[in-house]
Structure 1
Amino acid sequence: MSRIIKKRATAYKVHISDLVNGKWVEKPNGRFIVTGSGLEVQRARVMGTVVDKFISSQSDFGSITLDDGTETIRAKFWKNQNSPINKVQVGDIVDIIGKVKEYRGEVYLVPELVINVDDPNWEIVRELELMLLKPAGEISHLKEEIGVSEEDKTVPEEDFASNITRIMEVIEKFDEGEGVDFQIIKKETGLSLKELESGLTELLSDGTIYEPRPQTYRKL
């Protein structure tokens, strides 16, 4: 049975300062922060060190403050989503994907996913990724990372949607908690290299999946 995969706003990898110093803009399709490079950001992915942690006395609200060297931002958790904060301590490096919100002048994140980063070298990798961003805001590193150009991504629209569904079915079937290797996805989907790379790029870009490790994929 085929499924319709709802496309979400892209979770852009950015510096915290891009969010804190951005400008809020209202459009028919939602409210965005516009960064200095022109990105319209509703969902963001930021990595940094936890410098503060707060949990209310009734455990119905909590927050962590993240510092990436450019600025700080709070990620706020409410009662129904408090479990991720219990696994995070001051001094930890975390990678957060979440919606960008604002209240009384404070820009903050509502996390969808909190990933503990055990190897600090990933901060260097993230910095290199951000350096590769084009001024117009294209996420060029996603295409460079797995070798896909705009010309390569010429899969017919109907086939492309089918490929996306097949990729997601394999990831959901074979993920036992650590993600699914690129080669397993290729073998099980039977897709060509170009088709698989195009599909993974799309899913990474819109935040449907992420890479806990290089060439390993998990559903968000």
Structure 2
Amino acid sequence: MRYVAYKIHPQEFAENEIFEKSLMLDGKRIHRVRLLGNVNNVDKSNIVSFELDGISVKDFENKSLEVEENDLLDVVGRIGEYNGERYVALEVYSKKNENKDKWIELRNLEIEKTRNYIKDEETITYNREEMSGELSIESEALEDLYGDLDVKDKILDIIRENDGITYEDLIDNSGLEDVELDNVLSELKEDGEIYEPNPGSYRIL
């Protein structure tokens, strides 16, 4: 399954806690959001990135090359955090430059009407194959921006995003050789970061 993209106000994204790439909203964890806001600080020098009413949006697949300053955008994306910076990893967007005030008024009403339908996604699982490809693209782009990811952090992120992942899936998702992965897993177990509920299956402690 794919997580629902919940409509929220940009300031809610800025003000609420982010935990394991999910946003805590009214005591519930959500993983995808839909934001409406005005664009500024567009940067197309590496990956496309911009701010949406002050919220950082990163387009790891460069789908938004036509986005310009002062556009009113409706953005759907995943919640991300790296080196203390929170951001929305863009999936799709649409421009709402005509009748901007009407779009903003409509979104405020939509948020008010749908807020009671938000579900806590803490225990919901998702399609690993679908998400692993998206996360791989995101990780590659983050490496270009910030330098190589620490291998242990990378493995922890994969396990965290794929609860109960098998050794074989870790090999596929991490790109590590068997020996290197074995060493990392041993260190993480010794550090008390992960455990094996079943042989060859790994979870975060």
The alignment's TM-score, normalised by the length of structure 2, stands at 0.52
Q: Structure 1: 5+ residue runs without aligned partners?
A: 1-6, 140-220
Q: Who is 1:65 aligned against?
A: 51
Shift in Å, 1:114:
1.2
Work out the CA distance in 1 between the residues paired with 2:75 and 2:12: 15
Q: Who is 1:125 aligned against?
A: 106
Matching of residues 188-199 of structure 1 within 5 Å: none
1:34 partnered with 2:24: yes
Q: Give % identity.
A: 28
1:22 partnered with 2:11: no
Q: Who is 1:90 aligned against?
A: 69
Work out the CA distance in 2 between the residues paired with 1:83 and 1:33: 24
Q: Structure 2: 5+ residue runs without aligned partners?
A: 119-205
| 1:99-128 Cα shifts (integer Å, max 9, x gaps) | 010112221011110111133111110011
Q: Who is 2:57 aligned against?
A: 75
Find the residue that maps to 2:108 and give its secondary structure: helix
Give the RMSD, CA atoms, in angstroms: 1.9
AA paired with 2:42?
K
By percentage of residues, which structure has more helix?
A: 2
| 1:172-216 Cα shifts (integer Å, max 9, x gaps) | xxxxxxxxxxxxxxxxxxxxxxxxxxxxxxxxxxxxxxxxxxxxx
Find the residue that maps to 2:79 and give its secondary structure: strand
Find the residue that maps to 2:91 and give its secondary structure: strand
Q: Is the 8 A contact 2:59 2:91 kept in 1?
A: no
1:55 partnered with 2:34: no
Work out the CA distance in 2 between the residues paired with 1:88 and 1:107: 21
Q: Who is 1:187 aligned against?
A: none
Q: Who is 2:35 aligned against?
A: 46
Work out the CA distance in 2 between the residues paired with 1:96 and 1:124: 16
Shift in Å, 1:47:
0.4
Q: How many residues get paired? A: 117
Work out the CA distance in 2 between the residues paired with 1:83 and 1:25: 27
